[in-house]
Amino acid sequence: MKLLTAFKSLLNEVASLNDIQDAIRKKIVVTVYYDGDEPGGKGYRRIEPVCVGYSKAGNLVIRAWDLDGASHTASIGEKPLPGWRMFRADKIFTYQPTTDNFTEVRPGYNPNGDNSMDRVILNAQFNTETDE
């Protein structure tokens, strides 16, 4: 069990705060393996990260537009993909930036940050004249 915990700890370091901030600033689509809650929360996702900060529980979190992949809410039909999702950084086991960029301002995007976060570190900025 200690080996598994140590291994998960190493994998969690893949998504550093600097990497997340870089993807937000450059608007890079990222593929992650997320160890989310069951049913269906575990698996690969392609996301557009737009905000990083700390949740009210003190966890480092990413607000992202979930393009496709595993999602327990999508699997039970409450919020189909694509859509907004909150990802805990400590549950992201792989973090791989792609060569794709995003420029579209998604419905419901909050340019002032994320109301569900206790503290926002970085929020994406969109130039509405050139990004829409």
pLDDT above 50: residue 9 = no
Across the range 100-111, mean pLDDT stands at: 93
pLDDT-derived band at 52, boundaries 50, 70, 90: very high
pLDDT above 50: residue 51 = yes
pLDDT-derived band at 131, boundaries 50, 70, 90: very low
Within the chain, strands assigned E span: 28-35, 42-55, 60-69, 83-88, 92-101, 117-123
Q: pLDDT higher for 111 or 132?
A: 111
**CB 35 within 8 Å of CB 93:** yes
What ranges do the domains of the chain cover? 2-131
